[in-house]
């Protein structure tokens, strides 16, 4: 394996592939940190936006790899990452020894380990770096980064990682970050299910659910989900956010990891069924807090702000 140079603004050339809501915000923070940045995305508007801010055109995943020292990915799912890395005009096609790939996508842990092994054959290091903190954390550069990979690669990439996040935990070898992201998602989904049931219970009894939330935030039930997701539900601000369809995808990844490890995970299985029903109810593109609408609907309660379903 070639020696990896520590990332340095003004010196290290960075490529970014995948400019959705999260990716565009992270790429912008890389630019703000002073790194030379090349970008690639399947649709053009986000690319054009970042070009106006100082980024340069990457042309293709291979083009990004050809001109970069470190390549960052932010893509929807495992097949997308595989295609960008190993498909036609993919990163691997132009990768040279010493290249570092940092994948901020949320994908399969087992696939990530396999991708890392394939890239290692070319002298390329893969860091899995799924993130938590949502669009606001991406914009503010305060994401929590769950890191899997070699100590040397992560140490070298840390100045770049600090441009996108405020918390960085090295969890183990390649794939460990993705496994912990599954833990993150299953805890959020399970907590959200309980919060949605609590809101429905209050509504059925004529108790102000907003005041219930206020009371619970002062005690042991307080959580990020109660603080933020419950407020989105109560305020009916259900444009994503984080789409329900993506949470369902992430819960399936958690179940896959649990099956591989022989882990008993009934709560995760139930959460996946709840989000399957939510997506099938026409709310797959709404925020995950829209699970509360499904719970209220199945409880025979009138649904407010149904116009949010788009």
Indicate which residues carry an active-site annotation. 181
Q: Which residues, in sequence order, are CB contacts of 175 under 8 Å at separation 6+?
A: 109, 110, 112, 113, 116, 128, 148
Q: Cα–Cα distance between 273 and 269 in angstroms, integer?
A: 6
Task: For residues 68 and 38, give the distance between their C-alpha atoms in angstroms, rounded to a whole number.
Answer: 8
Helices (H), ranges, the chain: 21-32, 44-52, 61-67, 78-86, 91-94, 109-120, 134-140, 151-161, 176-205, 209-216, 224, 230-235, 244-261, 266-278, 291-298
Q: What are phi and psi of 128, to 5 degrees?
A: -90, 130
């Amino acid at each position: 394996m070639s020696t990896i140079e520590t990332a340095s603004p003004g010196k290290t050339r960075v490529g970014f592939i995948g400019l959705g809501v999260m990716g565009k915000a992270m790429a912008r923070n890389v630019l703000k940190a002073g790194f030379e940045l090349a970008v690639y995305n399947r649709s053009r508007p986000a690319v054009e936006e970042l070009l106006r801010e100082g980024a340069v055109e990457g042309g293709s995943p291979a083009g990004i790899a050809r001109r970069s020292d470190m390549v960052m990915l932010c893509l929807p799912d495992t097949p997308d990452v595989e295609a960008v890395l190993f498909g036609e005009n993919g990163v691997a096609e132009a990768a040279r020894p010493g290249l570092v790939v940092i994948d901020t996508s949320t994908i399969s842990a087992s696939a990530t380990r396999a991708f890392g092994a394939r890239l290692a054959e070319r002298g390329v290091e893969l860091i899995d770096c799924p993130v938590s903190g949502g669009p606001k954390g991406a914009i503010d550069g305060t994401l929590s980064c769950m890191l899997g990979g070699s100590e040397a690669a992560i140490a070298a990439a840390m100045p770049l990682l600090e441009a996108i996040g405020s918390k960085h935990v090295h969890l183990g070898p390649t794939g460990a970050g993705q496994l912990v992201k599954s833990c993150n998602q299953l805890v959020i989904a399970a907590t959200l299910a309980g919060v949605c049931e609590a809101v429905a219970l209050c509504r059925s009894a004529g108790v102000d659910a907003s005041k219930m939330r206020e009371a619970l935030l002062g005690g042991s039930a307080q959580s990020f989900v109660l603080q933020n997701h419950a407020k989105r539900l109560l305020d009916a601000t259900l444009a994503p956010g984080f789409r329900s369809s993506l949470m369902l995808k992430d819960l399936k990844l958690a179940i896959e990891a649990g099956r591989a490890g022989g882990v008993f995970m009934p709560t995760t299985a139930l959460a996946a069924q709840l989000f399957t029903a939510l997506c099938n109810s026409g709310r797959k593109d709404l925020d995950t807090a829209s699970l509360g609408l499904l719970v209220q609907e199945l409880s025979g309660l009138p649904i407010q702000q149904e116009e949010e379903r788009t």
